[in-house]
Amino acid sequence: MLLIGDPAKGLVQRTLSMCRRLGTDPRLTFSNISQLRIAYPQFYCEPSFSEEEPPIILADIELPGLTQIIGRALPPVILFREKQQFPATPPPDAFAIIESDFSPEAFSSILQAASRHTTLLQSFIRERMNGREIINNLNDVVYTIDLKGNVVYISSAAERYGFFPRNIIGKSVFDLIDREDHDYLRQQMNKLISERQATSLLRVTNAEGKTRQVRTSSRIVTQHGMPFSITGLLTDQTDQSFREQQILKLTQAVEQSANVIVITDLEGNMEFVNRAFERSTGYGRQEAIGQNPRILKTDYLSEEVYKNLWETISSGNVWEGKFHNKRKDGSTYWEKALISPIKNDAGTIINFVAVKEDITKELAYQQELEQAKEVAEEASRLKSEFLANMSHEIRTPLNVILGFTDLLLDETEDAKKRDHLHLIKDSGKNLLELINDILDFSKIEANKLDLEIDVFDPKALLQNIKGMFSLEAKRKGLDFTVEHDVPLPELLGDQYRIRQILMNLLSNAMKFTEVGSVSLRAHYENTGIMRFSVSDTGIGIPEESRKQIFHPFEQLDGSAKRKFSGTGLGLSITRRLVHLMGGNITLESKAGRGSTFTIELPLPTTTRTSAIHGPSPRQASVSGDKRVHSSPSSPKTILVAEDNGLNQELMKLLIRSMGHHCIVVGNGLEAITLLEKEKFDLLLLDMHMPVMDGLETIENIRKSPALSDLPVIALTASAMKGDEERFIEAGCNGYLSKPIDRKLLAEMIERIA
């Protein structure tokens, strides 16, 4: 019990005495409301109850501020006053009022009634607190607002989302929601008043400044049939909205995907198909759902493919492959498919998903490419075959022309006749150069020209080139010089192709220079770069034509073409050879004053002694015009297998002019027949003959115990890439391409026979 009043006042003293007589001595006595406010602040906030609160309050009716606790305090308040003291009617929230002349019996009766009231009130409060605890533990937030939109109550569940009741109660809901939602909220509140309930989606900002998306379900609370307040549940849907947005995005991505997406059950029956499936197959979604994908199946693929598919995905793995399918209209198409199992959290397969792409056009394009490749390869084969035949057909008569020219030069002393013979020989060499250029250009175009890297002496190469061009320079009255570093190191590179590059540049310099000089300079850099410069004082090249001259079959202009012969391949081949070696070619020129071509090639040095190499077949075909008068160390008996009558006659004359004996046969079969009867020191074998060609002949020779050691030199007019390697591998000891150079033939006979 709690007594509130001035202890000096008689009425207060009498009331305190009466309490003590009845055995209900108050625990605390306060003289004013301020003391009570300090001791029991809960009387001045939301009504509540605790064990520390007094079950009954006795208060002097004249106490200032009395109305502050009446109606706020949960314990019953009993007022006491002097008899006939106003107000005669107690305040409506007071439990009872007693006067100064009250009897102990009446006072006891009032206290007992108040005690019973307190007991009932405590029971009610406990139930209320239990209900509030339940409300506060809900995921949803319970709220009450007045009709003006001010928050009257909000459960503590709001704290889980960053909203604190102490900061919200008393505020307007318009201060809490996003400004863009204000008009929407007004509409919803009007709807709520008219329809008595409403559901809204709102954006609110919590104490941390974060925006949350909430759903409110509100209803009107009435009093005496009139709207009194609004109460409802608030659900935070921020995470759910995010998940819904993610699901929506995923759904849109699947639906709008250009790829076909199909989800099946464990039996393979379709549970979902996207729009791309409808477009691709012609089947509508309702037609496809529940069906097995075998409605698309054709008989093109074997059952083994589908068996492997099911074994793969049923074991939890991903299958990737192609399908040949049939649309609803009967047309067929190819699909690339990726099929994966879908597993739940426990790792159990619950569905399969297939992502498929129509690759009909791609396969058709690929087939076209393959067909085009086959056509190109066939064209390349025919081209190579044509070039080989052309080379053979031109080299065969050219061999006779150059061969007999050499023989006549050996036998003729008349200067005028020798000049005519030299013209014949030069023309033959020009024709041979043309053939070689065409063959080289063809190889370069087909990316079939390979470099043969070996050790070579650049000084010897330069001296050889000097000897080859000195006579032409002298004939034209030009000053020709070759300069190089002393000494030059041995280098690793393709000596023949480097020679070809320098000869092309020097040939052009000699051709386009009427007076003055031509020079070749060589310098080796410490960085591993070999620099060659070919300069002349010829006609020069205008700036606008400098790119043109490197294009195949092009020269400066029509007048140059009429005045200076040539195919227009030399510089094109030169540039491509330089680039093939990883080098660079540059040009400096002034029209009417001359040109300088500079090439830079990365050529590493070597310390090992260079080996002795015989000239390559291509070198043989461009060797200088030197007479051969040397006699053999000992005469040899040589068999020549050659089907062309003119070449037969030429070979007999050449070999006999070298001091050897010679017998000629027309094909390989005749050669083997004669070899089995007579002894020969050497066989010169043409590789293209009727009845039995050279390859078959050498194969039979190497199989024969009596002939297996016979030296054989292969002769061919095709001179195509790989010929030398192929013939040497077949069993030949040497190789010469037509037209046959007398000097090389003599040297090879001495070395092999």
Same-domain status, 423 and 473: no
* pLDDT for 153 beyond 90: no
Under the banding of pLDDT at 50, 70 and 90, the label for residue 229 is confident
Q: Is 236 helix (H, G, I), strand (E, B) or coil?
A: strand
The contacts found for 151-159 with CB under 8 angstroms, 24 or more apart, are 151/176, 152/229, 158/234
Instruction: Compute the distance between CA of residue 513 and CA of residue 530 in angstroms, rounded to an integer.
Output: 26
Neighbour tally for 285: CB within 10 Å? 13
Cis peptide before 41 (omega within 30 of 0): no
560 located within any domain? no
Residue type, 350: I
CB 58 within 8 A of CB 15: yes
* Lowest mean per-residue pLDDT among 10-19, 36-45, 63-72, 738-747: 36-45
Predicted local confidence at residue 40, as pLDDT: 61
Instruction: Compute the distance between CA of residue 167 and CA of residue 458 in angstroms, rounded to an integer.
Output: 96
Predicted local confidence at residue 428, as pLDDT: 80
Say what angle helices 645-657 and 360-411 make with each other, to 10 degrees: 50
Same-domain status, 377 and 328: no
Say what angle helices 10-21 and 104-137 make with each other, to 10 degrees: 80
Q: Which CATH number do you get for residue 734?
A: 3.40.50.2300
Say what angle helices 645-657 and 742-752 make with each other, to 10 degrees: 70
- The three-point CA angle 709-711-712 to 5° equals 125
Share of the chain above pLDDT 90, in %: 35
pLDDT in tens, 324-350: 999 999 999 999 999 999 999 899 999
Under the banding of pLDDT at 50, 70 and 90, the label for residue 616 is very low
* Lowest mean per-residue pLDDT among 62-71, 161-170, 575-584, 725-734: 62-71
* pLDDT for 626 beyond 50: no
How many structural domains compose the chain?
5
Q: 155-175 burial by CB neighbour count: b if 16+ within 10 A, else e?
A: bbbbbebebebeebeeeebee
Instruction: Compute the distance between CA of residue 598 and CA of residue 745 in angstroms, rounded to an integer.
Output: 36
Mean pLDDT over residues 417-436, rounded? 80
pLDDT in tens, 689-738: 899 999 999 999 999 999 999 999 999 887 666 788 889 999 999 999 88
Closest CA to 662 of 677, 647, 682, 644: 682
Where does a domain end: 423, 446, 469? 446
Under the banding of pLDDT at 50, 70 and 90, the label for residue 237 is confident
Pairing of strands 661-665, 682-686: unpaired
CB 494 within 8 A of CB 581: yes
For tokens 């500079």, the residue is 598
- Return the higher-pLDDT residue of 163 and 566: 163
CB 529 within 8 A of CB 601: yes
* pLDDT for 46 beyond 60: no
Structure tokens at 605: 């040095």
- Return the higher-pLDDT residue of 114 and 507: 507
Neighbour tally for 627: CB within 10 Å? 10
> What does the DSSP assignment read for 258-292?
SSEEEEE-TTS-EEEE-HHHHHHH---HHHHTT--
Residues 6+ apart with CB under 8 A from 32: 4, 63, 64, 65
620 located within any domain? no
Q: How far is CA 254 from the centre of its chain?
A: 23
Predicted local confidence at residue 70, as pLDDT: 64
Where does a domain end: 418, 446, 474? 446
* pLDDT for 500 beyond 70: yes
φ, ψ (nearest 5 deg) of residue 2: -125, 130
Same-domain status, 359 and 385: no
Predicted local confidence at residue 99, as pLDDT: 76
Residues 6+ apart with CB under 8 A from 436: 618, 621, 622, 719
Residues 6+ apart with CB under 8 A from 747: 614
> What does the DSSP assignment read for 143-184?
EEEETTSBEEEE-GGGGGGT--HHHHTTSBGGGTB-GGGHHH
Q: How far is CA 44 from the centre of its chain?
A: 73
* pLDDT for 137 beyond 50: yes
* Lowest mean per-residue pLDDT among 4-8, 381-385, 445-449, 605-609: 605-609
Instruction: Compute the distance between CA of residue 524 and CA of residue 675 in angstroms, rounded to an integer.
Output: 53
Predicted local confidence at residue 664, as pLDDT: 95
Predicted local confidence at residue 629, as pLDDT: 40
Residues 6+ apart with CB under 8 A from 108: 22
Mean pLDDT over residues 372-397, rounded? 79
- Return the higher-pLDDT residue of 305 and 121: 305
* pLDDT for 645 beyond 80: yes
Predicted local confidence at residue 272, as pLDDT: 94
Domain span holding position 586: 454-555+567-602
Q: Which CATH number do you get for residue 174?
A: 3.30.450.20
7 located within any domain? no
How many Cα atoms are found within 13 Å in the side-chain-facing hemisphere of 146? 7
The widest CA-to-CA distance across the chain, in whole angstroms, is 178
Predicted local confidence at residue 588, as pLDDT: 92
Residues 6+ apart with CB under 8 A from 40: 53, 73
Same-domain status, 596 and 462: yes
Across the chain, mean pLDDT equals: 82
43 located within any domain? no
* pLDDT for 202 beyond 50: yes
Q: Which CATH number do you get for residue 435?
A: 1.10.287.130
* pLDDT for 557 beyond 60: no
Pairing of strands 197-205, 584-590: unpaired
Same-domain status, 360 and 374: no
Same-domain status, 385 and 502: no
Pairing of strands 226-236, 141-146: antiparallel
618 located within any domain? no
Same-domain status, 297 and 386: no
Predicted local confidence at residue 601, as pLDDT: 94
Predicted local confidence at residue 28, as pLDDT: 57
Structure tokens at 541: 């090249």
Share of the chain above pLDDT 70, in %: 83
Say what angle helices 570-580 and 415-445 make with each other, to 10 degrees: 50
Q: Which CATH number do you get for residue 477?
A: 3.30.565.10
Under the banding of pLDDT at 50, 70 and 90, the label for residue 533 is very high
CB 62 within 8 A of CB 81: yes
The contacts found for 463-471 with CB under 8 angstroms, 24 or more apart, are 464/499, 465/499, 465/502, 465/503, 465/506, 465/520, 466/520, 467/624, 468/503, 468/624, 469/506, 469/510, 469/518
Structure tokens at 167: 């900061």
* pLDDT for 133 beyond 50: yes
Instruction: Compute the distance between CA of residue 622 and CA of residue 469 in angstroms, rounded to an integer.
Output: 12
- Return the higher-pLDDT residue of 125 and 516: 516
* Lowest mean per-residue pLDDT among 16-30, 419-433, 644-658, 737-751: 16-30
Mean pLDDT over residues 546-553, rounded? 68
709 located within any domain? yes
Residues 6+ apart with CB under 8 A from 662: 638, 639, 640, 651, 652, 655, 656
Same-domain status, 476 and 587: yes
Mean pLDDT over residues 112-136, rounded? 67
pLDDT in tens, 249-300: 888 888 888 899 999 999 999 999 999 999 999 999 999 999 999 999 999 9
Sign of CA dihedral 329, 331, 337, 340: positive
Same-domain status, 158 and 285: no
Mean pLDDT over residues 195-203, rounded? 88
Same-domain status, 503 and 460: yes
- Return the higher-pLDDT residue of 590 and 92: 590
Under the banding of pLDDT at 50, 70 and 90, the label for residue 675 is very high
Predicted local confidence at residue 35, as pLDDT: 66
261 located within any domain? yes
677 located within any domain? yes
CB 213 within 8 A of CB 238: yes
Mean pLDDT over residues 587-612, rounded? 78
Instruction: Compute the distance between CA of residue 349 and CA of residue 143 in angstroms, rounded to an integer.
Output: 45
Same-domain status, 260 and 349: yes
Residue 340: C-alpha distances to residues 104, 261, 325, 698, 720 (Å): 91, 11, 19, 62, 55
Same-domain status, 211 and 342: no
Instruction: Compute the distance between CA of residue 495 and CA of residue 597 in angstroms, rounded to an integer.
Output: 19
Residue type, 230: I
Instruction: Compute the distance between CA of residue 40 and CA of residue 51 in angstroms, rounded to an integer.
Output: 12
Q: 475-487 burial by CB neighbour count: b if 16+ within 10 A, else e?
A: eeebebebebeee
* pLDDT for 50 beyond 70: no
